[in-house]
Amino acid sequence: MNLPDDATLTDRGLPPSGAGRVLVLACGALAHEILALKRMNGWDHLDLTCLPAIWHNHPERIAPGVAQAVARHRAAYDTILVAYGDCGTGGGLARTCAELGVQMIEAPHCYAFFEGTDRFAAHEDEVTAFYLTDFLARQFEAFVWRPLGLDRFPDLIQAYFGNYEKLVYLAQTEDAALDTRARECAARLGLAYERRLTGYGDLERFLTPRG
């Protein structure tokens, strides 16, 4: 799901009810997963606002965008949770969240918190792995293939991916269609394929109500 603007979502598509609730301020690439967790766990207290997923291609926009969204929504919520990893901000997002007094997931990126940050960090031998999540398996064209210009200049595949050896699909769900798509992505990039079922990992733990 690529949301062009800050947009508030719930599983019924209704606006949030306001004060006393928890707002999750998230990357648009996590919208599907957070709404699924909300439904699965009956988290009726939780509302979701997403910022554009394409900002991963422009990480300098993430921390300022989060700050603006917190300012816009703070008065309506007792708690705001930031569902982002560092995501290429070089520690900038963590500093912004600390200054604003809001909590974010302690992880470098969504690959780490889906698998579990400690488990992901243990894969020291995977420096030549390219990762997909459910979102990226669905949106490979929009977020990988076209932004890198591979639709126009396929010879660039070697330049971008020549040092990779495999594509690792970190699957949040059991979905045969997404597995097929991920396999096709690996084939298009000329990489070996591996699938790991991670579920929602640290994201679910982060969103679970405390106390």
H or E segment and range at residue 37: helix 31-41
Output the six-digit token pair for 165: 């050896």
The one-letter amino acid code at 75 reads: A
Summarize pLDDT for 27-68 with one digit per residue, the tens: 999 999 999 999 999 999 999 999 999 998 899 999 999 999
Average pLDDT over residues 180-185: 98
Over the chain, what is the mean pLDDT? 90
**Is residue 176 within 8 Å of residue 183, measured between CB atoms?**
no
Residues 86-103: tens digit of each pLDDT:
999 999 999 999 999 999
The model carries a pTM of: 0.86
Q: Please give the backbone phi and psi of residue 147, each rounded to the nearest 5 degrees, phi first.
A: -60, -30
